[in-house]
Amino acid sequence: MLNPSIGLILWNLIAFLVLLFILGKFAWKPILKSLKTRENNIAESLASAEKVRAEMAQLKSENEALLAKAREERAQMLKEARDTKEKIINEAKEQAKLEANKIISDAQAAIQQQKMAALTDVKNQVGNLVIEVAEKVLRRELGNKAQQENYIKELADEIKLN
């Protein structure tokens, strides 16, 4: 049992060497190569997936920044619009006030003018009346004194009536 036969050793040696050669050339080499390729592929795929993920994250953050900027711009625009609106309204009010003042002042001027005209007219009429009265008085003076005074009284009453 412990003394191996030479024949068996020889056969074993030949078989092992043949096996080593054939498997080494036709089995282990392609298998190990394929396994290596696959592992490299997997590693590469993982790396590229990681890269894509990072890119996606970057893209997302960029998008968010863009969105935030857009939002800010919108707010800005709204604010500007509101400001413009208020400005226009204020300007319009100012304008209206000015117009109104002008109209009022014009109206006052016109009233004043008319009043002056009326006054002038009144003065003229008063003058005329005075002249008339004076004329009449002067005409009646030649008659009766008492009548003259009555007449003046009458005239004076007439003026009162006016």
Rule CB under 8 A: which residues touch other proteins?
Answer: 1-13, 15-16, 18-20, 22-24, 26-35, 37-38, 41
Task: Please enumerate in sequence order all residues whose Cβ is within 8 A of that of 134, keeping only pairs 6 or more positions apart, or say none.
Answer: none
Question: Could you tell me how far CA 120 lies from the centroid of its own chain?
Answer: 59
Question: Which token pair is 123?
Answer: 């003065």
Beta carbon nearer to other proteins, 27 or 57 = 27
Q: What is the 3-state composition of the chain as percent helix, strand, coil, each rounded to the nearest 5? A: 95, 0, 5
Least distance in angstroms from the C-beta of 52 to other proteins? 19
- Calculate the dihedral angle through the C-alpha atoms of 40, 43, 44, 45, rounding to the nearest 10 degrees: 120
Length of the chain: 162
Give the HSE-up count for residue 55: Cα atoms under 13 Å, Cβ half-sphere: 6
Min CB(43)–other proteins separation in Å = 14
> 136 near 154, Cβ under 8 Å?
no
Q: Is the CB of 39 or the CB of 91 nearer to other proteins?
A: 39
Report in angstroms how near the CB of residue 72 gets to other proteins at its nearest: 49
- What is the CA 32 to chain-centroid distance, rounded? 70
Nearest distance, CB of residue 2 and other proteins, angstroms: 6
Cβ distance to other proteins smaller for residue 41 or 128: 41
How far is it, in rounded angstroms, from Cα 5 to Cα 45?
55
For residues 28 and 61, which CB has a smaller minimum distance to other proteins in the complex? 28
User: In this complex, which beta carbon is closest to other proteins, that of residue 11 or of residue 85?
Assistant: 11
Beta carbon of residue 49, minimum distance to other proteins (angstroms, whole number) = 16
